[in-house]
Amino acid sequence: MSNNNMRRSRHQILYQFLPGNTFDYSDKRGIWQVNRLETKDASSQVDRKYIVDRVFARAKNWDGGEQGFTSSKPSHYDFGAPDEVRARPFPTTFYCTTCQRAHGYYSPDDLSGKNQALKCKGSGCNGDLKQYQFASVHSCGEIRRLYPQKCPEHRDQHIVLDTQDSQRAQNFKWRCKICGWNTRVNYYQKCGCDYVPPAYEDDPDEDKMYTTVHRAGSTYYPHYLTTVNLHTSGIGHLRGNEDGSRKALAKHLGLSDSPLQSVNMNEGIEGAEIDDDRKIEVYQSEPSVESLAEAEEWLRENGEIDSQTVGEVISDLIDLEAGGDAEEMTSAGDELLQYVLSLEELTAHTIDELENDARREGFPQKADKISTYSNDIDRLGFRDVRVIEDFPVQTFVYGYTRGSREEDEARLNAFSQNASSGDGTPIFVDTSETEATQFDLDPATVLLWLAVNIQETSDEDAVRGNITLPSLPENPEEADIERARAAIEELSEAEQWAFVLNHLDPVDQYGRFDTTTEDTVEGQVTKYVFEMLHTLSHVLLKQASTISGFDRTNLSEFLFPRALSLVIYTNNREEFNIGGMTTMVEQQLDDLLSQAKAHGNECMMDPVCSQRDGACLSCLHVSEISCSYFNQVLCRDYLFGSRPNTDRSIEGFWRL
């Protein structure tokens, strides 16, 4: 069993075959552990500084500490696209399928040198050996095999693993078949390090190395960063800086019609239009005015038509910290930069464009069907739905934890420099352009939903910025809601978006909110908007998998929370687009939306699921390949409303 090569798709490698992870080899070849990936240089496809800055910041802010992230210099890291997997047998502790005797070897080389045939060494047995499926892991990142012990009298000749018919490894014992001597397995599974995660500082003995099945999810948690690839669009230089953020804000607020790179902060924006009667009045009363155009200029010069620059409007509307080390503006701007890219740079088709294309190509029945979708879109609170042919996704894997994904319960480990064929600390990369469907929510509808659920949004002393939402009673009547709807629709589009942007904190990839603002309007709005949007994403993803023909694990999500937008994209990494997304939207968007609303609140585990978190494997959870946030911050209440048997009181977005 020497060092063998395995070939898998890049997508499979990034999610299942990373260095340090174990897997069951096909063809009954046992359990193996990845020790190295052969990679191709991907640095030319990557905005190296931007990615390293984000990875390094995550590592240094990880509460449980980190190991291996020693530099913030891009040159210290190797960006490699996985091409080939190298793996070795692990664990190297076996049992005889005939007599059950345990056999332990220090390493794959020790195994290869002493027992390459994998035959039992017991006297007269010669049975076949098979690996134990158990391994021991520790929060520091260590993983070890089981260590068979020796009977004081009969040594290791008759030692077997006695599970005592238990599924719990803490009950396992090494036992001598001759005299019955035994000792607990966990007595000898010690890490020996001095690492203690913050969660166990008060009781370090609770942070022990524990034994479990090697394929259990807790033995290995890869850490990912997924982003829209701006590098090839030519605007990657706008990332992570205030200038790029303000340009993205200007586009998103509708303050400029110029292409993103050409947005000018000094460009003038006129305020409210002056009606024609006032212009005529000036024309008739002012001797120097000889035309309506001159009347408009006279009104502007005399302050009756306000004019501001793009930059001034942003400063007036957006209440985000900017300048120096402030990250609020650059964080919001970076997300919006990616969103604006999805509108400006990609090959996308709106519902109206799909309808027009169908009519132009001679398919009137298809066009007529597509034309009916606008009712469903409006009814469910969407502003737009579009198909993207070339959604550019980049996934980066930069490290792993064992035992837990929670940052106060485990150390974040970088991959060893020996774990790839490149030079430097590896960050593994997958870049693809793939089909996607993008769903944009209507900001006015979201603001109405927030006003119904969070009364403090009407308090000018509690909100950020100078925009408030209408005040509503605790149990509003339909007339109250309609009055609030009308008031919100009187706000300009820029004002509506400004309220959203001023009150959305960043949410990291682990679904964690900023706890310093959790009791503020800002914190409440962040929780409501993000959990609703994320829940909606999972509901649509699950329904899309049944309609589009894609396996559920072949669909993934990408969220733009500050743009109230979500993307469902195919992650099958084929070299061609098979058109499944376009077909789904053209032919079955009405089915997708109606089924999402009709069945999205169903759960086999109710009422238990609803009484707990409102999200579980039976209703909302999807594969970690598909979810950007590891199935965290999900709850059906935000979309469908709280049920009477829960301790929550949330009016669902789809119940308005």
Smallest CA-to-CA distance from 48 within 231, 178, 306, 179 is with: 231
Q: Is 38 exposed, middle or buried (0-12, 13-18, 19+ CB in 10 A)?
A: middle
Tokens representing residue 231 in the block: 């590098």
CA distances from 336 to 4, 18, 247, 624 (A): 45, 32, 9, 25
Beta-strand ranges (E) seen in 155-310 are 159-162, 173-176, 182-184, 210-213, 221-228, 268-270, 307-309
State residue 281's pLDDT score.
87
Tokens representing residue 226 in the block: 């997924």
CB 22 within 8 A of CB 32: yes
Averaged over successive runs of 10 residues, the pLDDT of the chain (656 residues) comes to 53 83 85 94 90 91 93 95 92 96 95 94 90 95 95 94 88 95 91 93 90 92 88 73 88 92 82 68 88 81 74 90 69 90 90 95 95 95 95 93 92 95 93 92 98 96 94 93 96 95 82 68 94 97 84 88 95 61 92 95 94 94 85 94 90 93
C-alpha to C-alpha distance for 535 and 613, rounded to whole angstroms: 12
Tally of CA atoms within 13 A in the half-sphere of 76 that contains its CB: 16
Tokens representing residue 227 in the block: 């982003």
Smallest CA-to-CA distance from 555 within 428, 353, 391 is with: 391
C-alpha to C-alpha distance for 612 and 631, rounded to whole angstroms: 15
Q: 3-state SS of 315-373?
A: HHHCCCCCCCCCCHHHHHHHHHHHHHHHHHCCCEEEHHHHHHHHHHCCCHHHHHHHHCH
Residue 359 contacts by C-beta under 8 Å, 6 or more apart in sequence? Answer: 367
Place of tokens 């687009």: 577
Beta-strand ranges (E) seen in 158-198 are 159-162, 173-176, 182-184
Chain-centre distance for alpha carbon 403: 21
Place of tokens 């793009």: 310
CB 138 within 8 A of CB 402: yes
Q: Three-state DSSP class for 117?
A: coil
Q: β-strands 159-162, 173-176: how paired?
A: antiparallel
C-alpha to C-alpha distance for 555 and 135, rounded to whole angstroms: 32
Chain-centre distance for alpha carbon 514: 17
Evaluated on CA atoms 153, 158, 159, 164, the torsion sign reads negative
What residues pair up with 396 in beta bridges, in sequence order?
225, 429
User: Which phi and psi angles does 431 have, rounded to 5°?
Assistant: -120, 135
C-alpha to C-alpha distance for 151 and 173, rounded to whole angstroms: 12
CB 251 within 8 A of CB 235: no
Q: Is cis: bond before 607, omega within 30 of 0?
A: yes
C-alpha to C-alpha distance for 107 and 117, rounded to whole angstroms: 15
Tokens representing residue 453 in the block: 């659920």
CA distances from 76 to 59, 72, 224, 424 (A): 15, 8, 19, 5
Chain-centre distance for alpha carbon 252: 22
Smallest CA-to-CA distance from 183 within 165, 191, 171, 167 is with: 171
Q: Three-state DSSP class for 303?
A: coil
The residue count for the chain = 656
* Strands of the 143-144 sheet, one edge to the other: 143-144, 134-137, 210-213
C-alpha to C-alpha distance for 63 and 139, rounded to whole angstroms: 13
State residue 383's pLDDT score.
96
Place of tokens 């000749």: 157
Smallest CA-to-CA distance from 243 within 330, 303, 315, 142 is with: 330
CB 370 within 8 A of CB 355: yes
Place of tokens 């999200």: 615
Smallest CA-to-CA distance from 583 within 366, 404, 411 is with: 366
Tokens representing residue 232 in the block: 């090839």
